[in-house]
């Protein structure tokens, strides 16, 4: 029996996917262990799932760690950054479609004040009122990874004007009229009717949506966060909403999760809260498995892996 071990942790791997892995990597032994023990981690050459710093220290044979998540921020411990022999890959792109849909959902709910309709329905009240439409408005997307690019195309289909902001602004994206760099963030924010945060959490993006950004936004503008709460300065955002310097917020990502019961966001007017639920679909999981299975075949054949995380920048380029 081969001593080259692939351990799949933290998910229940569908039988067809397991068969695909065995076919793609016949020289490896596959173990599916939703709760792997220390021995499995210590002997795995390939491990799919989150590893704690202590796990990395004992994983002497580990050469490749795959994440079921698109973001790698929770996995880039000092131990992982220092593990030069270990390649880290993510499932970046697996949740792009539902995240883009969720951003549009929040935009539509806020643009048409859907909570007012829901309140009227509960009260059995016929409440007709003028509302806006997304067509013709400008959406600014922070982060042009898979979710940002998918959202740009969807917004373009809604007849919106789309601008983007990314670390490498010379790279275009379909449907995006103009691309800004991080140093132009206030100029970018001033253009937005909707500012959507879709960037990964990295040392560069942490806290980038700050008081300066909210000061540059229009009083009719709204912020949407479908990525990570730590990218946005919570205090600055709350002040901007309460002082009517922006119109509102749609928040699927929060600085503290689960959102505490005493958080002001639950009851703040003009704010819609969802529980980091935008990409919780069976298709998101299936796409993550597809990324991993494809990479297993690449790994077995000694071909370059996809979605390799740059441990310094904190995300997979794509």
27 and 171 both lie in a single domain: no
Token pair belonging to 180: 């800004």
CA nearest 226: which of 169, 288, 275? 275
240 and 205 both lie in a single domain: yes
Per-residue pLDDT of the chain (318 residues; tens, 9 = 90+): 678 999 999 998 999 999 999 999 999 999 999 999 999 999 999 999 999 999 999 999 999 999 999 999 999 999 999 999 999 999 999 999 999 999 999 999 999 999 999 999 999 999 999 999 999 999 999 999 999 999 999 999 999 999 999 999 999 999 999 999 999 999 999 999 999 999 999 999 999 999 999 999 999 999 999 999 999 999 999 999 999 999 999 999 999 999 999 999 999 999 999 999 999 999 999 999 999 999 999 999 999 999 999 999 998 876
Token pair belonging to 242: 């309460």
Residue 318: predicted pLDDT: 61
Out of 132, 133, 257, 303, pick the active-site residue. Answer: 257
- Strands 271-273 and 248-251, by their bridges, are parallel
Full 3-state SS string of the chain: CCCCEEEEECCCCCHHHHHHHHHHCCCCEEEEECCCCHHHHHHCCEEECCCCHHHHHHCCCCCEEECCCCCCCCCCCHHHHHCCCCEEECCCCCCHHHHHHHHHHHHHHHHCCHHHHHHHHHCCCCCCCCCCCCCCCEEEEECCCHHHHHHHHHHHHCCCEEEEECCCCCCCCCCCCEEECHHHHHHHHHHCCEEEECCCCCCCCCCCECHHHHHHCCCCCEEEECCCHHHECHHHHHHHHHCCCCCEEEECCCCCCCCCCCCHHHCCCCEEECCCCCCCCHHHHHHHHHHHHHHHHHHHCCCCCCCEEECCCCEECC
120 and 230 both lie in a single domain: yes
Cβ contacts of 133 within 8 Å, gap of 6 or more: 111
CATH number at residue 48: 3.40.50.720
Question: CA angle, 223 as apex, 220 and 225 as ends, to 5°?
Answer: 165
Out of 102, 161, 276, 287, pick the active-site residue. Answer: 276
Q: How far apart are CA 233 and CA 13, in angstroms?
A: 38
Dihedral over alpha carbons 295, 298, 299, 300 (to 10 degrees) = 120
Q: How far apart are CA 214 and CA 245, in angstroms?
A: 7
Token pair belonging to 122: 């509960």
267 and 292 both lie in a single domain: no
27 and 102 both lie in a single domain: no
108 and 83 both lie in a single domain: no
Residue 249: predicted pLDDT: 98
Cβ contacts of 306 within 8 Å, gap of 6 or more: 89, 291, 294, 295, 298
Domain count of the fold of the chain: 2
249 and 190 both lie in a single domain: yes
157 and 201 both lie in a single domain: yes
| 228 given a catalytic annotation | yes
Residue 1: predicted pLDDT: 64
Q: How far apart are CA 245 and CA 62, in angstroms?
A: 51
Q: Which residues span the domain enclosing 293?
A: 5-93+282-316
Question: CA angle, 158 as apex, 154 and 160 as ends, to 5°?
Answer: 95
75 and 87 both lie in a single domain: yes
31 and 137 both lie in a single domain: no
pTM, two decimals, is 0.95
Residue 31: predicted pLDDT: 96
40 and 20 both lie in a single domain: yes
Cβ contacts of 27 within 8 Å, gap of 6 or more: 2, 4, 300
Q: Are 27 and 6 in contact (CB under 8 A)?
A: no
Out of 66, 102, 228, 287, pick the active-site residue. Answer: 228
| 45 given a catalytic annotation | no
Centroid of chain to Cα 237: 20
Residue 2: predicted pLDDT: 78
| 303 given a catalytic annotation | no
Cβ contacts of 54 within 8 Å, gap of 6 or more: none
Residue 317: predicted pLDDT: 74
259 and 308 both lie in a single domain: no
């Amino acid at each position: 029996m081969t001593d080259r071990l692939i351990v799949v942790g933290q998910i229940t791997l569908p039988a067809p996917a397991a068969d695909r892995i065995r076919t793609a990597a016949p020289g490896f032994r596959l173990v599916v262990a939703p709760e792997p023990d220390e021995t499995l981690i210590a002997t795995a050459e390939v491990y799919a799932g989150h590893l704690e710093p202590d796990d990395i220290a004992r994983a002497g044979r580990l050469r490749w760690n795959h994440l079921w998540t698109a973001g790698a921020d929770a996995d880039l411990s000092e131990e992982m950054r220092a593990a030069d022999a270990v390649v880290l890959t993510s499932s970046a792109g697996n949740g792009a479609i539902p995240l883009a849909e969720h951003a549009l959902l929040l935009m539509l709910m806020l643009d048409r004040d859907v909570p007012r309709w829901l309140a009227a329905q509960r009260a059995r009240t016929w409440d007709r009122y003028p509302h806006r439409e997304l067509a013709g408005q400008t959406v600014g997307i922070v982060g042009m990874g898979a979710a940002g690019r998918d959202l740009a195309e969807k917004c373009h289909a809604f007849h919106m004007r789309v601008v983007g902001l990314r670390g490498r602004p010379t790279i275009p994206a379909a449907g995006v009229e103009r691309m800004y760099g991080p140093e132009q963030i206030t100029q970018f924010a001033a253009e937005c009717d909707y500012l959507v945060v879709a960037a990964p959490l990295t040392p560069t993006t942490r806290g980038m949506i700050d008081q300066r950004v909210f000061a540059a936004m229009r009083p009719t503008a709204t912020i949407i966060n479908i990525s990570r709460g730590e990218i946005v300065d919570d205090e600055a955002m709350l002040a901007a909403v309460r002082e009517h310097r922006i119109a509102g917020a749609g928040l699927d990502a929060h600085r503290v999760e689960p959102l505490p019961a005493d958080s002001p966001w639950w009851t703040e007017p003009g704010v819609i809260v969802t529980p980091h639920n935008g990409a919780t679909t069976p298709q998101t999981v299936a796409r993550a498995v597809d990324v991993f299975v494809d990479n297993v075949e690449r790994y077995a054949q000694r071909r370059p892996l996809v979605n390799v995380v740059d441990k310094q920048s904190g995300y997979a380029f794509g």
